[in-house]
Structure formats: structure tokens, C-alpha cells
């Protein structure tokens, strides 16, 4: 196991881990269980982390992460009124897909 990066929140951590896994790099999110305790611990102890299983895939994982972190920031407003940003293709509030 190798720690790849720290994510600003669980949504990003999950998005990145899913994308890496889909590309053949086994990845998962750690520390997500602490997200509810952020008032009691230093902030950097609570942020979710993305870990990869095989350290030999680190370079490829980091390259992919770079692209994931630099996608154009599409923002769109869902039919439910939620402003969705950060490259998400579906509304995190109601699950509706981004209109094409």
C-alpha cells in the first residue's frame, strides 16, 4: 500500500479512487470514517486519503491524478437547484446526469 495523495473532501477522494481503479490501478480511500470528527482533530488528520495497492503503479497513478485534478471546472446547475462543480458528471444531491 502506498499513500498517493490527500483529498480536500470525501467526494474527491472517492472520485479519484474510482477513476484509478477503473484504469487498472487498485486504489481505495482511507480515513473516511473520521470525517464526522473534524471538530476534534487537526484538519490534516481528518482529510480522506487515496491509497494505491501497488507502489509500482505510483508514477502512472500520479500522472492520472494530475489530469483528474486539472479537468476544466465545469459548473452546472441541476434541475433540483444544486450547483455542481469540480468535474462531476452527475448531481451529488439527486443523481441526475449533467445535461449534454
Q: How far is the CB of 91 from Zn ion (least distance, A)?
A: 3
**CA–CA gap between residue 54 and residue 65 (Å, rounded):** 15
Q: How far is the CB of 98 from Zn ion (least distance, A)?
A: 10
**Contact status: 82 vs Zn ion (CB under 5 A):** yes
**Contact status: 91 vs Zn ion (CB under 5 A):** yes
**Contact status: 93 vs Zn ion (CB under 5 A):** yes
Instruction: Give the residues lining the site for Zn ion (CB under 5 A).
Output: 78, 80, 82, 91, 93-94, 96
Amino acid at each position: 500500500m502506498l499513500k498517493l495523495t490527500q483529498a480536500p473532501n470525501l467526494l474527491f477522494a472517492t472520485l479519484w479512487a474510482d477513476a484509478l481503479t477503473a484504469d487498472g490501478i487498485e486504489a481505495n480511500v482511507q480515513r473516511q470514517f473520521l470525517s464526522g470528527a473534524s471538530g476534534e482533530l487537526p484538519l490534516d488528520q481528518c482529510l480522506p486519503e487515496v491509497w494505491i495497492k501497488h507502489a509500482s503503479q505510483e508514477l502512472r497513478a500520479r500522472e492520472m491524478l494530475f489530469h483528474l485534478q486539472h479537468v476544466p471546472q465545469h459548473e452546472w446547475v441541476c434541475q433540483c437547484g444544486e450547483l455542481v462543480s469540480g468535474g462531476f458528471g452527475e448531481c451529488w444531491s439527486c443523481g441526475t446526469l449533467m445535461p449534454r
